Structure formats: C-alpha cells, structure tokens
Structure 1
C-alpha cells in the first residue's frame, strides 16, 4: 500500500468524526423545524370570528367584526414568522449534516419580510429581527456542510432568533387572551340560554344546548392544552439555541452533546403530546 493510500485511510475516520460531531446539533435543529404548533394556533386565532359569530349580537358583533379585520390583515405575517424560524432551523440542520430538508422552495416565501401590527402585536423589534434572520438564512442556505459554517450561522443568528422566539411567546399569549374572550362569550351565551329554558316545551331545546355546551367546553379545554404545549415548545427551542450559542467552541464535548440531545428529545416529546391532544 503506498503512502498516499495510507494517508487517505487515516483521514477517513477524522472526516467521519467531524461530521458525526454535528449530528446532535442537526437533531435539535431538525426537531425545531418540525414544530408547527404556532402555525396551527395562528390559524385558529384567524378563525375566531367564524366560530363566535353565531353567539354575538349588537355592539359586541360590531367589535368582533373589527377585530376580525385586524386578524385577517396580520395572518400572512404571523405565518411568515414561523416559516422564517423553521427555515432557519432547516438551514442549520442541513449545515450539520441532515439531508432530509429541501431549502430551495422556501427562501422566496420569507424574503419579503413582515409589517408591524397592533393585534396581535408585531412591533419594530420583531420586524427587524425577522429581517436579520432572513439575511442569515440567505447567507448560509447554500453553504457546504462544515463545522465552521455551523458556528458562524449560530453566532449571527442567535440574537435575532431569540428576539423572534420571544415575540412568538408574546403572540401566543395574545392568542390565549383571544381564546379566553371567545370561551367566555360562547359558554356564557349557552349557559344563559339553558338557564332560561326550563319550561316543559323547551326541554328538547335545552337538552340540545347542554350537549352543545359540553362539546364546546371540551373543544376549549383541548385548545388550552395546545397553548400550554406550544408555549413550552417555543421556550425549549429558544433555550436550545442559547445552549448552542454558549457552547459554540465546545460542540464536540460529550457534555454538550448530551445537553443538546435532551433539547431535541424534549421538543419531539412536546410535538407528540400535541398530536395526542389534537386527536
């Protein structure tokens, strides 16, 4: 065997080890990219007026209609926030050696940025942070897999990503407040109607209303569990990326690998819990 072949054989384990060192980073980023609870709850938020309209009348109906117009206007930007975070994570996963993500069709979808909105609140800080994330994605989406690229992307992306994820937590809080108002309106209406239907000729109507009240109560309870799990997931994603940033020069240590692997497992577990709640 000549010297050149021997050198190549000696280098192969080192090359493979270099790729393997980033597997845990790729697992965390991949699980984060698959976390879609925010998008699902954004769609539920958008459809609030459709659900509560049958139970509204008078001035309440007018106010609800005005709020609905704001929700519809903000919807595309609210979805784009998640698309940008997911694409960032897909890019990071791909740089780390995960080949299952196709980035080519996604970059244009987030390139145009978002606008400020009042309901729910998307402020200038979030708008600017998302613009910065888009720049980071565009810079690294076509880069080759390498540890240096992963480190550079994490360094450049951490600050705007943390602002965006904190904004997503705040937006989920706005969604929950809207949910609470809808729940109070719908269940309050049904409870009042049931209480006023105590004459014998109204028993059938009252029975149907009770069954509807029970179904709506269960629906709202499921949604509340979704909000709980979604908030946990976004927080764990933010904490995981903070862990990456703080260990940027220590990605190969066993302690770090175990830590970031736990974040990936937690995010996956939350995603699976959401699937159970949904069903």
Structure 2
C-alpha cells in the first residue's frame, strides 16, 4: 500500500514538474512594446504639419501685392485646420503609448493624457479629411478613454489591437494623405520662391547689379538645399507611416501568435526600420 501510494505521488510530482516546464515563464511581448514605442516616437509629422501651417510666413517676402491677398487667404485656411491635423497625430501617439504599456510588466497611469484628446474633427474637402477619418478619430478617442479610465492594465494587448486596428489604419491613412498635402504645398512654395530667382537673375546683367546678383545666387542655393532636405523628410515620414500601418496590420493578423519566435522576428524588423527612419528624420 505504501509503495503504491509513493508511486502515485512520484507520478503526480513528475506530471506537475512537466506541466511547469511546458508552460514556461511569462509571455514576452518585448517586440510589441518596442514597435509601439518606435511608432509613438517616429516624429517628423508634427514638424511637417507646422511647416505646412507656416507656409505664408516663408512665402510672404517673395509675393507680389497681387498674389499676397491669395497668400493670406490660404494662410487662414491652413491655420484653421492645423489643430485637427495635430489632433490625429496625438491620438495615434497616445494609442501606441498605451499599447506599449500594456505589453510591459509595469503599471502606469496615463489618465492625465486624456486631456490630449481633442473634442472632434471637421471634414475638410481641401485637406482630404473625410467622414470616415472623422468616424475613426471618434472611435479611437472612445477606445482610449474607455481603456485608460477603466484600468487598462487589466486589458490584453490582443484586445487592444483587435479593437483598435480598424481605426488605426484609417487614421494612418489620414496622416499619409495629409503628409502628401504638405508635400504638394511645399512643392508650390518651392516653385514660387525659387522661380523668382530663375526669372530675375538672368536679366540682372548690369555691372552695378553684380553684388546683388551674387547675394541672390547664394540665397538661391541655400533655399534649394533647404527644400532638398525637406523633400527627404516628406519621403521618410511617408515611409514611416506606411511601416507603422503594416506593422499594426501584422499584429492584427497574428493575434494569439504575438509571442512566437517567427512573429517576434518579423515585428523586430519593423521596429528597427522605424528607428532608422526616426534617425533620418532627426538628422540634418
């Protein structure tokens, strides 16, 4: 009897130890956290939005009286939508920050960040903001308000990604469209300013204009270099936003597999690419 009992106890212990070994330690979501951090810190977009808003300040010294009126009208329109454009970015940054904290093992309190959420957006045909972008923004603010205010630490990463992906994709689409708008506006600015030099310099042939022409050429080269650098920032910003959208889509498609080695390597690559893009955006 004792021998039989001892045998059963040994068998139970073996099964218990085996079960512990197969279960392993806590699930690692380090790559999810790093991807979300890199997405939140991508940068570039806010700078380009401000540049779009301040277009008139750079153009004004070069505008003729006839075109200055149109410049002021466009300036008012850009400033009227600027806060909406930035609100989209703030909301996505807060989403990524929340996702990063969910993927970590430390409890945080983001309740104060609720104030960063705007009161709503307005559709704008000129900027490309559509009702679906407005609806996605509303849905995202509701999700964040609910998660943060209700103790988001108790919610899983999978739940956050599943509930948020559709709105994330639409809002990133809005940011991509807006970045293209910034790009186009910058192209028009570049043509306006550099075009003046292209027209005026060849006709300034008098000896008395020599010093003025020299200064104008130096200024032209400086402006041309500035626009070349800014063009590169637009390209990097578009690459970064596209990479964030793809990475989040992959998470949505692989719910339940986020801790597998294959998916962790995939998401690690996305995070590394985003950090490289961020370095390019922060450089000169």
State TM-score, norm by structure 1.
Answer: 0.89
In the alignment, does 2:99 pair up with 1:122?
no
Q: CA deviation at 1:60?
A: 2.1
Q: CA deviation at 1:100?
A: 9.8
In structure 1, how many angstroms separate the alpha carbons of the residues matched to 2:118 and 2:76? 25
In the alignment, does 2:61 pair up with 1:54?
yes
Q: Conserved in 2, the CA contact under 8 Å of 1:30 and 1:89?
A: yes
In the alignment, does 2:240 pair up with 1:233?
yes
Q: Partner of 2:147 in structure 1?
A: 140
In the alignment, does 2:48 pair up with 1:41?
yes
SS of 1:66's equivalent in the other structure is helix
Q: Partner of 1:254 in structure 2?
A: 261
In structure 2, how many angstroms separate the alpha carbons of the residues matched to 1:101 and 1:79? 25
Q: Conserved in 1, the CA contact under 8 Å of 2:87 and 2:118?
A: no
Q: Partner of 1:275 in structure 2?
A: 282
The verdict on how the C-alpha distance between 1:45 and 1:98 changes in structure 2, with shifts beyond 3 A counting, is farther
In structure 2, how many angstroms separate the alpha carbons of the residues matched to 1:111 and 1:207? 49
Q: Work out which of the two has the higher radius of gyration on C-alpha atoms and give 1 or 2.
A: 2
State TM-score, norm by structure 2.
Answer: 0.88
Q: Partner of 2:32 in structure 1?
A: 25
Q: Give 1:163's match in structure 2, choosing from 152, 162, 170.
A: 170
Q: CA deviation at 1:105?
A: 3.0
Q: Conserved in 1, the CA contact under 8 Å of 2:56 and 2:71?
A: yes
Q: Conserved in 1, the CA contact under 8 Å of 2:243 and 2:274?
A: yes
User: Where does structure 2 lack aligned partners over 5 or more consecutive residues?
Assistant: 1-15
Q: Conserved in 2, the CA contact under 8 Å of 1:97 and 1:145?
A: no
In structure 2, how many angstroms separate the alpha carbons of the residues matched to 1:74 and 1:143? 33
SS of 1:119's equivalent in the other structure is coil
In structure 1, how many angstroms separate the alpha carbons of the residues matched to 2:67 and 2:105? 51
Equivalent residues, number: 266
Moved more, 42-51 or 108-117: 108-117
Q: Conserved in 2, the CA contact under 8 Å of 1:129 and 1:160?
A: yes
- CA RMSD after TM alignment: 2.2
Q: Partner of 1:181 in structure 2?
A: 188
The equivalences for 1:37-116 within 5 A come to 37-97=44-104, 103-116=110-123
Structure 1 segments of 4+ aligned residues over 4 angstroms from their partners = 10-16, 98-102
In structure 2, how many angstroms separate the alpha carbons of the residues matched to 1:11 and 1:164? 43
Q: Conserved in 2, the CA contact under 8 Å of 1:71 and 1:120?
A: no
